[in-house]
Every structure is written in structure tokens, then in C-alpha cells.
A and B are shown apart, each in its own frame.
Chain A
Amino acid sequence: MSAEAENWEKVLWKRQPYPDNYVPPDFLSSLRRNPNFRPYTYWSLVSLSCAVTQHLATICIFISVFVHLQEQLLDPRTLIWLSVGCFVSGYTLWVLLDQSQVALDERINILKTFKSSILIFLALMSLSPVLRTLTASTSSDSIWALSAILLLLNAILADYSALNGKEQLTSVISMNAAVSASAVLASRLTTDIAVFGLMLFSIQAFALFPFLRYRFQASGSAVQSSLTFGLVLSTVWFTVGLSWKITCLYMLIFSFVTFLAPALLMWAQKYKNEIRGPWDVAVPRLD
């Protein structure tokens, strides 16, 4: 390397008076670490994790309802009336919370909803004898294992994102898993009306409630936290009569998900080391 050498340039098209293994002083100057770093705040994470807690609480309530039905502690008729009540009040809330406020002849919309819900109601009712005997020949052990796997799948794949954007494939799979879980569980019940009640409730809890949850999520953290609190409370109320041990376990899981997991995530964030540089695949801007 001669002393009066010209400055090194980051080019390949000319021979420079430097050896091939010369490391320039600005080596890796275009390296950027954690360019999009945003430190999390604890309470925003807690508020986001409320969606997970709500979904888990829904699953817990569903399991309790099933056990109540199977042990004949709950009259299926009460459950059906409760479901209808939930549907009407949930739908009203859903309409009221609509922030886009497009009043496009809402009456027709409501009539349409009413018509399709009656259809689903009747279809479920006519299918319930079939569902009751569908997996009757399968042993109960297999049913418990299968429904546990399906509900776990539902919890893992559910869409917990705060933005009510496009519906992802995983959330569709999640919903299907939950409905299948309730279909296989329904075969353990003894009467047709109990099967009908459980199926109706599962559709409320797993297909319709997530839509309502998005609306709640969009409408502020006070609503969000009170909904979470309400769901957790009803989980306790439904479960405590069956087993206080399970109730304790539920409470542990809920408090872990809501309060401890965000703290863990914040602690783990200090290990974040994202490396960016000119070698990354560029993101094309097309508009």
C-alpha cells in the first residue's frame, strides 16, 4: 500500500492500490441495528393481551357449559334462551358500536340478519339428532383428546390482532376447529335439545363473538378491560361450582397471560438485535 495512495472506493470496476483483503475504515458503515425499534409500554401490552384473555375465557366458559349440560346441572332450554338473549343484545351492541356510521338502509340489513339467523337456528335444530349420534361409536377418551386438541388449535390460530383488517386464513381454521370441537363434544350429550343448545352456544362463542370483540377493541381500553373483567368473572361463576382447583388454574393462566406475559415480553425486548443493511431484499413501492 503506497503512502500517497488514492482514497479507497467501494467499487469493483477498477484495480485499486490496496490488497484484496483490505478492510476500509468505513467497513459496515451502512449497517443499521434495530432501525424500527419501538420500546413497548407495559399497559399498552396489557391492553393488547386482553384479547387473548377474552378468547381463553370464552373457551373456558364453553367447557363449563358443556360439563353443566352433561351433568344435567343446566336445563338446555335455559341455555337456548340465554343464547338467544346474548345474540340479540350482542347484535344490538355490534350495530351501536359501528364507527363507520354508514346508515345504508339499516332496516333491510337487520331484516337480512334476522332471516339468516332463523335459517341457521332451524338448520341446527334439524341437524342436532344427527350430531348427537355422529360420533357416538367413538370412545369417550378419544373424544376428550380430540376436542382438547381442537380447542388448543382454536386458541393458537385465533386472530388476536387489534385491527379489524382482512380476515386471515388462520382465523377461519381457528373457528372451524372450535365448531368441530363442539360437534364432537355434542355427541356425549343425551338429548337432542341439549345438543342443539350446545351447538347454538358454540356458534355464538366462536363464530360471532370474535366480531363483537373487534368492535370492542376499537372502542377504547376502558371498554376493553371491563369486558375482560366481565368474561373472567363469568368464567369463575360458571366453573367454581364444578371444581375450585380448575378455577384456580384458570385464574393462574389468566393472570399470567394478562399481567406476566407482557412483562416478560418487555424484558425480552432488550435482547432485540435486528440487523439491516444493503443486502436485505428491498421492498418495492409500486404506486
Chain B
Amino acid sequence: MQERLSIAMISDFFYPDVGGVENHIYMLSANLIRKGHNVIIITHSHGDRVGIRWLLPGLKVYYLPFLPIASSATLPNFFTSLPYLRTILLREHIHLIHAHASLSSIGHEGILHAHLMGIRTVFTDHSLFGFEDAASILTNKLLASSLKHVDAVICVSHTGRENTVLRGQLYERSDKDPTTLAVRKNVYVIPNALVAEQFKPHPPRVSETITIVILSRLAYRKGIDLLIATAPRICAAFPNVHFVIGGDGPKLIELLQMREKHRLQDRIELLGSVRHEDVSSVLARGSIFMNTSLTESFGIAILEAACAGLYVVSTRVGGVPEILPKDLISFANPDADDIFRAISEAIQIVSAGQHDPYRAHERIKRFYDWGQVATRTEAVYDGVIKSRQIELWERIRRTMELGPFAGPIYTIILIVDCLFFLFLEWWAPRQDIDYVTHEFRQEEFRKCMKEVELGEPTCLGEVIDQSAVMTVPELLKVVNTQ
């Protein structure tokens, strides 16, 4: 049994927003709590949601009063979060910060400040970025600067890791041969997972029609142009094929125009935006899932579809080729002719009954499981806690490697951050902080619950005898002291 850790997940992206990163953070936290760790989440305020909220499996969420600038990301201002983070991290007795997503500036700030309090850091990168446009150049520099301080990096796919290693300069001179560069030892690949119970296959309908499901944001990056180019051809070639398209976005109008132009109103159904809890029922309507993304670091939607027993056709981009075995997915190049070919193949496979939805579901259930993800993440945490902490001088040296302009700028930021921290130590002394005490112990509770289930409540017995009208905190206090 590992020692219990107190972990703070920090990211700009969290509930009430929904998305891949948000779901990942929540599921990972819930599973770490199940393993007996204390987990809190720190994010920025969403609307009037400021302060502390609790989510179901005992997950405490701090919403800091910062305003998001664009698509729920905050402005990287390096210092303003330090007073908040210092208080929260100290009062929660945090051992380790786990920051998520490379566009989340609050996560980067957490990594920058953590060493001041002797807290260790882990960073998970969820997305792929190029190297050529101005936005990528700026955010990559920001990422590289904060990854100079991080103790371990987790990527969600092998392609994602190659990308992050290049973007975040996660390489150093090799020990064996100092002339070559080697990837740092602390870069891990741990995939996403899914709750397989939410995506169960439905019994196949007895009919000739084959329904192709598309669930995606209707945007250029999701390759909707390819869908618009291929859907009429598929409809013309296969009279028994229907489309169900869920999602909303700027390309919706073009899709509607295509449908009108080719008079396919009865063959192509557009659902508009689909809530995450309805995804399963939409998937249940189809037998083939089509993904035309132009870039994708993991492709959780593909996984959900495959888990629900759909045969998948996808473009061969980013991390998608890694996530499913070859017999569950057909690949196409991002070109209309090749997608048409792959869809035709998939239609043949499905109509010949060569794809068994139940077997696919069972296999994916074995491959992807949040419990395993939490165990693997725990191993990363363990390695980080046992490793030597980077000293300030080493941090300065690494930061100066960023470049002739960025190096000194980020070094100044680092030093000013240390001075600001010293000021805060004097201004708001540690002994004045209202520390959190943990009343609840998962292990004890579970043991007692098991005993209750077995019908021999030894530890709860006295409590129940004493009074039937005891309040929950009192009950917990008794359980914990025993």
C-alpha cells in the first residue's frame, strides 16, 4: 500500500464546462479518491460559481475568482494566482500538483509556484499543436517555460508524447553519449479511458438499412468538409445507408446546403448539439461511426463509439491509429476518394455480419478502464515523490536554456515569484491559515460498510446502539476514532 497523497488537480477546464479534458480530470480524481488519496480541484470561476463546491465522490472544487478571456482559458499573468494557490495548497496539505492541458494558464502558474512550498508537480498534455502559426509559437514557449519546472509529464498518446517532447523541449544530453539528445525519463504515456457501462451495445435491428453516425463539433478541424464531399457519394452508391449527424458548429450551414442540394433530407438526419448523456442513445441508432477529423490527439469519441459496438471509420491523423486494434477500425487518408473507399469497406463488413458488437465491447472494456489509468498515474506520482526535487539554481539554469530573449524574461519571472512568495510569507503567516482536517477516512468507512453488508457491524454497532439520531459528522468522528 502506497502512502496517501494529497493531490491538487489544477486546470482552467472543468465542470460546469463539458469536454474531454474536463471529463478526464473528474474521472481520474474520482478513481484516485477511490484508491484512498485526497484530491481537490482548482479552477477559475465559471459565471457565478465562485468559492468551494463539492462533487459527488467527495471531490472538493475551488473556483478561483479569475475571469476567462477566450474559450474558458485565463490570461497568463504568472503572479496573481499565487496568494490564492499558496493558501489553498497549504491549508489542504497538498503534496503534489497535477496540472492539465497546455492552454490552461492557471495550471502553468501552479507548476511555477509549487516548488516554493516544496510541492511536486505533474503535467498532463491533452492536445496536439503545430509549430508554424504565431499562436503555437507563443503557447509553445509558455509550455516549454513551465515544463522546465515540472517533475513528470503525462501524455495521452504516443503521438502526443512526440509532440509534447518537441514543444516543451523535454530532452537533455544523453548520459551515455553527451553529443546526442535523449528524451527525459519522466515523460509517460497513459491513455484516456471511458466508463464502458455507459456505452453498451444494443441488439442489432432487424432491417436492411445501415446507419452511419457522426458525432463531432461541426468545425473545419473536424474535417466536416470531407464529410460534405463524401456523404452524397455514399448515399448515391448505397441506397440502404442513412446518416445521423450530431453536433453544432460553423459548418452546419454547409451541411444543410449539401443536404438540400442533393435532396437527401430523408437520408441525412441532423440532430444539432447532443448532450454527453445522450451520446449513448445516439450511438445506439447506428452501426458505423465515421470520424473525419484533421487532427486528434486521442479521439475519445471514437473509443466511445467502438465501445458501443459500432464499427469505426476514421482518418489516419494524430493519435487515432494507436487507440484501436485493426479489426475494429478502418482507416482512410484525409481525402474524399479514400474515405469513400473505407466507408464502402465498412459497409461490406457490417452487412456481412463480420463485426460483433458485443465482442468489441468486451475487448474495449478490458483495454480502457479508469481504475487502470489511476493505478498507472499513481505509479507516476510515486516516482515523482521519491525523486529528488529540482533546486532553485537548477531551475534558473534550465530556464536560461529557453533562449536569448525568453530565457532572461522567464528567469526574472521566476525570481520575482520567489520574492513575492517571501512577501506573502511575512504578510499572511502560515500559522494564520485555516488548515483543513480530514474527518473522513475512505478505508475505515469502506471496511465498516462491508461489515454492515455482511450483517455483522462490529465497529458501527456501538454507534447504532448509542443513538439512531446521530448526525453524519458525529457518526464519522466515532468511526474514525475507533
Contacts and interface: CB of A to CB of B under 8 A. Distances in A.
A23 interface: yes
A88 interface: no
B139 to A, nearest CB: 14
A12 B161 CA distance: 12
A35 interface: no
Contacts of B166: 28, 31, 275, 277
B307 to A, nearest CB: 12
Interface stretch (B23-31, B183-191, B283-291, B389-397): B183-191
Contact of B132 (A10, A12, A274): A274
Contacts of B294: 281-284
Given A282-B295, A282-B317, A286-B229, A277 B183 contact: no
Given A12-B157, A275-B131, A285-B335, A20 B188 contact: yes
B190 A20 contact: yes
B223 A10 contact: no
A73 to B, nearest CB: 48
A218 to B, nearest CB: 30
Nearest to B164: A279
Given A14-B367, A20-B376, A20-B379, A278 B221 contact: no
Interface string A13-48: 111000011010001101100000000000000000
B323 A13 contact: yes
B325 A13 contact: yes
A281 B130 contact: yes
Contacts of A27: 162, 183
A11 interface: yes
Interface in B293-323: 294-295, 297, 315, 317-319, 321-323
B458 to A, nearest CB: 39
Nearest to A278: B159
Interface residues of A, number: 26
A277 B162 contact: yes
B158 A280 contact: no
A277 B136 CA distance: 15
B213 interface: no
Nearest to A8: B158
A286 B336 contact: yes
A177 to B, nearest CB: 24
Contacts of A21: 185-189
Interface string B125-158: 0001111100000000000000000000000011
A12 B334 contact: no
Contacts of B160: 279
B85 interface: no
A278 B128 CA distance: 9
A285 B364 CA distance: 32
A281 B376 contact: no
Contact of B322 (A10, A20, A23, A286): A10
Contact of A28 (B162, B319, B380): B162
B163 interface: yes
B292 to A, nearest CB: 8
A21 B376 CA distance: 11
Contacts of A280: 130, 295
A162 to B, nearest CB: 23
Contacts of A10: 158, 321-322
A147 to B, nearest CB: 31
A78 B336 CA distance: 61
A248 to B, nearest CB: 35
A284 B225 contact: yes
A229 B177 CA distance: 58
Contacts of B128: 279
Nearest to A22: B189
B157 A274 contact: no
B324 A13 contact: yes
B226 interface: yes
A146 B343 CA distance: 60
Given A12-B157, A12-B323, A282 B334 contact: yes
A52 B217 CA distance: 43
Contacts of B325: 11, 13-14
Interface in A41-92: none
B172 to A, nearest CB: 13
Contacts of B191: 12
A284 B223 contact: yes
A287 interface: yes
Given A13-B323, A21-B188, A279 B226 contact: no
Contacts of B221: 281
A287 to B, nearest CB: 7
Nearest to B293: A282
A275 to B, nearest CB: 5
A230 B226 CA distance: 50
A21 B186 CA distance: 6
A14 to B, nearest CB: 7
Contacts of A279: 128-130, 159-160, 162-163, 295, 297, 318
Interface in A258-287: 274-275, 277-287
B189 A12 contact: yes
Contacts of A283: 294, 334
A281 B324 CA distance: 21
Contacts of A281: 130, 221, 294-295
10 contacts: A11-B323, A14-B325, A28-B165, A30-B162, A31-B166, A274-B131, A279-B160, A281-B294, A282-B223, A285-B336
Interface of A: 10-15, 20-21, 23, 27-28, 30-31, 274-275, 277-287
A-B pairs with the 4 shortest C-beta distances? A285-B335, A279-B128, A282-B334, A279-B163
Given A12-B189, A13-B364, A274-B132, 4 more contacts: A20-B376, A275-B166, A278-B318, A287-B229
